[in-house]
Amino acid sequence: MDIKLAVLIDGDNIPSAYVKEMMEEIAKYGNPTIKRIYGDWTKPHLSKWKNLLLENAITPIQQYGYTQGKNSTDSAMIIDAMDILYSQKVNGFCIVSSDSDFTRLATRLREAGMLVYGIGEKKTPDPFIVACDKFIYIEILKKQTEEQESSSNKKTAQKNTIATITQKEIRFISATIDDVADDDGWAFLGDVGSLMQKKQPNFDARNYGFQKLTPLIKSIKNFEVETRDGGNGRFKLIYVRIKDTKGKR
């Protein structure tokens, strides 16, 4: 199925430095047929966006701040989202913002059968995160490719963007494995990943410095991983289970 996505960006709330990585990430989930960014383009703080919009074919939507202290950009995005929903031109939405004001919009779109992806900074409030099918932290999309960076700067960047696996995450993974495991305790890693995404939309191996879930699981001593033949030797299936520290298995 060809997933057509409407990408709606809160220009007042998202730094322009991430746009290239952000659009590459969105392309993994579907075809962004509608791309709009909202803000008051008379304001100097949005000037960095202007060249990037042409490069990425994003349509700017002008929204004046009619009342001081009120964010009219949010209202414009919500109205457009509902218009797009009723037009039936897309299968899903990508809401790019760190603002919890879009929580009800994400919930409403999902009620209508839409896929909803959220992208925002790590400061994004939990209600908006859990209202999405999947939520991606924008910080992990910024690739550390600048060869001219000093090693100390790289270490600082990694420290700021990569989290450490804690016992809380390990318990979460363990509980999910138990939910889908067979009688011997083995669970297909694809099923584990899908259920984890439903339970916690912002869980992403990249948050912990791994590109995929498999190497993340392998790095945790609490789990054992087994590779099985998926048929005709053409592909492999990855299974995982919780290590039995008491020797019961």
Please, what are the domains in the chain? Answer: 4-141 (3.40.50.1010), 167-242 (3.30.420.610)
Q: Fill in the amino acid letter for 162.
A: I
DSSP 58: P
Pairing relationship of beta strands 31-39 and 4-10 according to DSSP bridges? parallel
Instruction: Give me the half-sphere count of Cα atoms (radius 13 Å) on the Cβ side of residue 242.
Output: 20
- pLDDT the model gives residue 245: 59
* Spatial CB neighbours of 216, under 8 Å, sequence gap ≥ 6: 165, 205, 208, 210
Most confident of 140-154, 155-169, 186-200, 230-244: 186-200
* Residue 220 · residue 170 · CB < 8 Å: yes
More confidently predicted of 152 and 128 = 128
Does 113 score more than 80 pLDDT?
Answer: yes
- pLDDT the model gives residue 62: 85
Question: pTM (2 decimals)?
Answer: 0.81
Angle, helices 72-87/103-111, rounded to nearest 10 degrees: 10
* Residue 6 · residue 34 · CB < 8 Å: yes
Q: What is the rounded average pLDDT for all residues in the chain?
A: 85
